[in-house]
Amino acid sequence: MALEVLAETPTLKLETLTIRMRLGLDATCFLTLYNKQDVRLIGLDDAASRLGVERRRIYDIVNVLESVGVLARRAKNQYTWKGFSAIPAALQELKDEGFKENPASCDGSNDSSKMSDDEDEEETFPKLDAESQNDKENPDSTAAAKSIKTENRREKSLALLTQNFVKLFICCNFEIITLDEAAKLLLGNAHKIMRTKVRRLYDIANVLSSMNLIEKTHATNTKKPAFRWLGFGGKTSESADTDQNSIIKEPKKRMFGGDLTNIDLKRNKVGLFMDGQNSKVQNEQENISYGAQTGKNNLEKGAKQTTKSYQFGPFAPAAYVPKVGTSENNTVKQVHNWDSLSQVHRPQYQNQVLKDLFSHYMQAWKSWYSEAAGKK
DNA sequence: TGTTCCCGCCAGTTA
DNA sequence: TAACTGGCGGGAACA
């Protein structure tokens, strides 16, 4: 399970647990929650309430997961969990489908920049936005128009966009692609469509990232943000995990301090963090911040924290890293300090999965720390 | 100024 | 007809 995976990686910094992209985090939590042997059916309401997220966001996640075979729609409001083991078959299916649609395939194995600015470039897959074309057909027929509208809607769906995005990697051998390149290839160059679809591609990429199917990187030439295909059981540059569970990845962070999931800062509805207690310990630790500072008055401040003020999780600052040669007594004391620190700074997640993640992580870190200190 | 993506409106679909 | 579904784009946060 993902919790154990996290527990086995105590060197993971706390910020990776607390600062990240919301949708990616939601997807991670979703996968963590349901990636269990006894899970067969998933209710959307259940998922939304257990994750403490809006139903709307669950739709985004399940659409992407369904596209790569992890879920299958069973009925209204209900999905069947197929699990990560279904991914290879789904990818193979997409690959076959891709080659069937476009037998000539395409070659993205080279530098993706070669097509980045070419306005006349033909799209690799048929444009998803068929509206303009379809609108010209049978304008008088209501039934036809309705069916065309339905078809348009389907064609614009997040699920189909996900599949075509994945096809760019598995059929076209793109190793790295920027989202605007992907949008151009999939949707053509119309500016308005591009803008909208790139937003959707961000959503998709966040979910795929959280599954470790892709990872965020930079285009080699332009240094623009891009995504690299890792594939099923793919390895990030940082991780060598082979366990299937490791496919649940900590999404990369969006770098602003206060935007924690389920935590009410500006936009969110749920209230949060700490109540200003234990000010003594806090004063000692005032240079350690992850998201919010103590007290109601500081909430806004916390919300406005920048990546500059957001420096460390509670694990990093040198002042609190034990010096080599520290006595065992001190070590125990340190662990206790960490313990109290973790209590003081413990984020007040509404989301049960996050609470569990945090607890497991803290537990793992403490035992790792004791063990490591004991060896010295 | 560009990038990233949260958020929720609202139209289409389904039961 | 109510509830579900999800496309879409405004705009905030950040680089």
| Protein residue minimizing CA–C1' distance to B9 | A56
Check residue A137 and give left, alpha or beta (phi > 0: left; psi -120 to 50: alpha).
beta
| Protein residue minimizing CA–C1' distance to B2 | A224
The residue extents of the domains of chain A are 20-124+159-252, 279-375
pLDDT tens for A180-219 read 788 878 776 667 777 788 888 888 988 898 888 888 887 7
Whether A229 and A175 have beta carbons less than 8 Å apart is answered as yes
Q: Per-residue pLDDT averaged across A87-92, rounded?
A: 90
Q: Per-residue pLDDT averaged across A140-165, rounded?
A: 70
Please give the single-letter amino acid code of residue A334.
Q
Whether A314 and A341 have beta carbons less than 8 Å apart is answered as yes
Higher pLDDT, A116 or A158: A158
Query: Which string of DSSP letters, residue by residue, matches A310-364?
Result: ----TT--GGGSPPTT--HHHHHHHHHHHHHHHHHH----SSHHHHHHHHHHHHH
Q: Per-residue pLDDT averaged across A164-179, rounded?
A: 85
Say whether pLDDT at A38 is over 70: yes
Provide the CA A163 to C1' C6 distance, Å, integer.
16
Provide the CA A198 to C1' B4 distance, Å, integer.
10
CATH of A20-124+159-252, one of 3.30.420.40, 3.40.50.80, 3.10.105.10, 1.10.10.10: 1.10.10.10
- d(C-alpha A250, C-alpha A145), whole Å: 44
With residue A7 as reference, give the H or E element that holds it: helix A2-7
- d(C-alpha A342, C-alpha A65), whole Å: 34
* Full strand arrangement of the beta sheet holding A71-75: A41-43, A78-81, A71-75
The strand ranges marked E within chain A are 41-43, 71-75, 78-81, 176-177, 214-218, 225-229
List the beta bridge partners of residue A311. Answer: none
Higher pLDDT, A49 or A273: A49
